């Protein structure tokens, strides 16, 4: 009798439509799911991130068993746990003598490199299947990118609109424009608040995992008392239903707004579920389109939401594989400063940063503009070394996997790729944050003050950054004109800016080692 097929399912592949399950018969298949030490500690993930992944994995295993599949589930504390994917697959091969190991390609470079060695390691055939959960295959992206000097999301996005038919009116974009972003930059009006989104009480499975995580990863960043993520497909659907019923209408206009105490505003909060495999990205976009067709949300909101998914999400995934492995070491601006300690403690008198870090610690989440224009903008202007910023983002967000985190961090916020992804650095002074949020009202600094005591640190840091990178940025037609403003200031004013920035940077305390990676990591 030939052995069964062994189907390893990784922690972010939690869907029954996975390519490795397609066409399999239940009596001939053993599904392997493994909680492993290496994955939980290669960086010291936020406690909520580990809890979310382990709990969603355990719930998915239960769903599979209920549907009649055989699941070999290895828990972290099981005796003999080999601690790594390869080690656990080796144990399963020994135990089940499969004729074939059939696995869907890993989303991250690090794991895929390892996976490609499996065929040489195990005494059976190994097949690595394409991940069909993305709309754009890697070969399609590579072909699109092949002869382009600059890779711009906007053009890629139009291809995806044509490919999916979403918001298309024949071969024209619905409403006549591809992109309605100019309608999506409303500052928050006084008292802006969003309807409460569904929050999910930990059930017995999640409570067990919380106990495990507190016991084994107690020194990792983050609060666990506030865990309320969806951990099953049903819960994720409930979260999506609430978004489409109550929040998508205002999603567009207030996409860039930030309000103290309103941690997620009108954002969908669906990234964790999409990245885990609990929700299908294309289905979500089709639902969004239907909401528009039913007249329940405006085009700018629906187009904005769809662009985030079939545009940005697909694009950064293609970009990641197109640019790896060198993207992880890119540092075009030669940024060398250590990450400040306050990114971990939240102890800073800059109210905007303190609030975004508080939300990050409590929710393992911050919304896009907080990640980009507050936390990211600061890291860019202060010249923080990309590897340290990358580690931070990978650790602290429950939706963070390297394929999506790295392009956003290295290329979008830090311009470390020298402008392949973004046409200019997303650099901004305190003015932008003051316009788009109510943070500055409660801050010890003043966004209107440019230099010296009490000046918002973003102001001198902005000009310090611009001055420092003049040679490169002056040639950029989207940002180069700013230098005429700088030149008009004259030497004394320029010196005040530069001295203010240097004095601030000299006071920054770098983080102690050990927050992001284990001591020997
Ligand atoms: P919404 O605002 O409701 O957007 C809808 C969906 O669009 C998201 O769920 C997500 O799937 C997708 N999306 C939106 N923007 C992006 C983007 N730039 N890249 C990829 N997908 C996008 N997203 C992650 O999923 N994982 C990460 O590790 C991650 N790291 C980021 C780091 C930085 C520096 C920045 C600027 C952005 C990062 N993002 C990341 C993108 C974005 O911030 C999150 O997807 C979003 O905040 C998740 O919240 P939401 O589901 O409410 O998103
Ligand atoms: C992020 C993560 C963590 C913390 N732990 C596990 C785990 O123990 N088992 C598992 O299958 N997946 C885990 N993951 C998600 C993986 O890191 C993710 O599936 C791959 O890295 C994608 O390449
Ligand atoms: Fe942030 Fe500056 Fe506003 Fe303070 S004044 S909240 S540091 S932008």
- Return the pLDDT at 220: 96
Whether residue 40 is found in the same domain as residue 152: no
Find the residues whose C-beta lies inside 6 A of ligand 2. Answer: 10-12, 34-36, 39-40, 45, 50, 53, 106-108, 111, 401
At 514, the pLDDT band (50, 70, 90 cuts) reads confident
Strand partners, 127: 102
Average pLDDT over residues 437-443: 96
| The pLDDT of residue 147 | 84
Report CA-CA distances (Å) from 174 to 15, 165, 169, 178: 32, 10, 5, 8
Q: For residues 116 and 153, state if they share a domain.
A: no
Quick check: is 275 in a domain? yes
Backbone angles phi, psi at 72, to 5 degrees: -95, 105
Q: Are residue 285 and residue 428 in the same domain, yes or no? A: no
Ligand 2 center to 342 CA (angstroms): 27
From atom 11 of ligand 1, which residue's Cα is the shortest distance away?
271
Here the CATH number for the domain that contains residue 468 is 1.10.579.10
Mean pLDDT of 75-92: 97
Residue at a domain's end among 295, 323, 351: 323
- Residue with the smallest CA separation from ligand 3 atom 2 is 456
Name which residue sits closest to atom 52 of ligand 1, judged by CA. 269
Ligand 3 midpoint to CA 434 (Å)? 7
Q: Which residues are within 8 A (CB) of 426 and not within 5 positions of it... i.e. 6 or more apart?
A: 372, 373, 376, 377, 380, 412, 413
CA dist 327 and 407 (Å) reads 8
Asked if the model's pLDDT at residue 521 lies above 60, the reply is: no
Average pLDDT over residues 306-332: 97
Residue 388 within any structural domain of the chain = yes
Per-residue pLDDT, 472 = 94
Q: Is the same domain home to 300 and 428?
A: no
To which residue do tokens 């992109």 refer?
179
Give residue 512's pLDDT band: very low, low, confident or very high (50, 70, 90).
confident
Cα-to-centroid distance, 271 and ligand 1 (Å): 6
Q: What is the pLDDT of residue 518?
A: 87
Q: Which ligand is nearest to the CA of 107?
A: 2
**Domain final position from 129, 154, 178:** 129
Q: Is the pLDDT of residue 520 over 70?
A: no
pLDDT score at 401: 98
Q: Which domain holds residue 392?
A: 342-507
Indicate the pTM of the whole model. 0.98
Both 82 and 188 in one domain: the answer is no
Long-range contacts at 466-474 (CB < 8 A, ≥ 24 apart): 466/427, 467/494, 467/497, 467/498, 468/383, 469/333, 469/425, 472/332, 472/333, 473/424, 473/425
Q: Whose CA is nearest to atom 9 of ligand 2?
A: 35
Query: Based on the domain organization, do 483 and 346 belong to the same domain?
Result: yes
DSSP 153: H
146 and 266 inside one domain: yes
Average pLDDT of the chain to the nearest whole number: 96
Q: What is the pLDDT of residues 170-193, one digit of tens each?
A: 999 999 999 999 999 999 988 899
Cα of 454 from ligand 1 centre, angstroms: 33
| Distance of CA 399 from the midpoint of ligand 1 (Å) | 8
For residue 340, give the 3-state DSSP assignment.
strand
In the prediction, which pLDDT does 292 show? Answer: 98
Residue 148 is predicted with a pLDDT of: 86
The answer to whether residue 213 sits within a structural domain is: no
pLDDT at site 10: 98
Q: How many domains are there within the chain?
A: 3
- Distance (angstroms) between ligand 2 centre and the Cα of 253 equals 35
Residues 429 and 351 in one domain: yes
Q: Is residue 521, in this structure, part of any structural domain at all?
A: no
| Domain match, 160 and 42 both | no
Tell me whether residue 229 is in a domain.
no
Atom of ligand 2 nearest to the CA of 33: 11
State the Cα–Cα distance between residues 372 and 255, nearest whole angstrom. 12
Q: Are residues 142 and 280 in the same domain?
A: yes
**Tens-place pLDDT, residues 342-375:** 999 999 999 999 999 999 999 999 999 999 999 9
Of the candidates 482, 436, 442, 490, the one whose C-alpha atom is nearest the C-alpha of residue 462 is: 482
- Residue 492 burial by CB count (10 A; 0-12/13-18/19+): exposed, middle or buried? exposed
Query: Does 208 reside within a domain?
Result: no
């Amino acid at each position: 009798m030939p052995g069964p097929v062994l189907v390893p399912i990784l922690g972010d592949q939690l869907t029954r439509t996975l390519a490795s399950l397609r066409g399999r018969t239940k009596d001939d298949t053993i599904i392997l799911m493994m909680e492993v030490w290496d994955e939980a500690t290669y960086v010291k993930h936020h406690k909520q991130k580990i809890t979310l992944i382990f709990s969603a994995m355990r719930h998915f295993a239960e769903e599979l068993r209920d549907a009649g599949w055989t699941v070999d589930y290895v828990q972290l504390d099981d005796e003999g746990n080999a601690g790594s994917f390869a080690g656990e697959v080796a144990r399963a091969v020994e135990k089940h003598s499969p004729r074939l190991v059939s696995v869907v390609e890993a989303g991250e470079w690090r794991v895929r490199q390892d996976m490609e060695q499996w065929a040489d390691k195990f005494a059976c055939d190994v097949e690595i299947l394409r991940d069909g959960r993305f709309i754009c295959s890697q070969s399609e992206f590579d072909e699109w990118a092949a002869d382009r000097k600059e890779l711009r999301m906007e053009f890629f996005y139009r291809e995806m609109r044509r490919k999916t038919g979403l918001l298309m009116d024949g071969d024209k974009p619905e409403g006549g424009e591809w992109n309605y972003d100019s309608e999506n930059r409303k500052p928050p009006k006084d008292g802006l608040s969003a309807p409460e989104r569904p929050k999910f009480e930990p059930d017995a499975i999640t409570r067990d995992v919380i106990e495990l995580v507190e016991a084994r990863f107690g020194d990792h960043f983050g609060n666990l008392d506030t865990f309320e993520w969806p951990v099953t497909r049903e819960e994720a659907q409930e979260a999506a239903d609430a978004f489409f019923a109550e929040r998508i209408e205002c999603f567009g206009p207030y996409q860039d707004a930030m309000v103290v105490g309103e941690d997620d505003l009108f954002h969908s909060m669906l990234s964790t579920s999409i990245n885990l495999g609990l929700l299908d990205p294309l289905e979500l976009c089709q639902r969004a389109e239907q909401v528009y067709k039913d007249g329940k949300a405006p085009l700018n909101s629906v187009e904005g939401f769809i662009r985030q998914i079939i545009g940005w999400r697909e694009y950064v995934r293609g970009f990641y594989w197109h640019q790896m492995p060198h993207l992880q070491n890119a540092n075009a601006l030669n940024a060398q400063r250590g990450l400040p300690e306050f990114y971990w403690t939240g102890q800073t008198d800059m109210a905007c940063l303190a609030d975004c870090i508080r939300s990050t610690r409590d929710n393992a989440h911050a919304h896009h503009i907080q990640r980009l224009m507050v936390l990211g903008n600061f890291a860019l202007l202060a010249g923080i070394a990309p590897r340290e910023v990358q580690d931070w983002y990978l650790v602290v967000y429950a939706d963070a996997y390297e394929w999506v985190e790295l392009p956003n961090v290295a290329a979008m916020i830090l311009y470390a790729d020298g402008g392949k992804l973004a046409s200019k650095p997303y650099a901004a002074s305190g003015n932008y944050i003051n316009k788009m949020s109510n943070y500055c009202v409660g801050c010890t600094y003043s966004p209107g003050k440019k230099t010296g005591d009490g000046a918002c640190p973003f102001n001198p840091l902005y000009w310090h950054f611009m001055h420092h990178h003049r040679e490169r940025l002056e040639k950029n037609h989207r940002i180069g004109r700013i230098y005429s403003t700088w030149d008009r200031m004259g030497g004394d004013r320029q010196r005040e800016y530069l001295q203010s920035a240097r004095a601030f940077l000299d006071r920054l305390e770098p983080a102690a080692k050990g927050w992001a990676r284990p001591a020997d990591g």
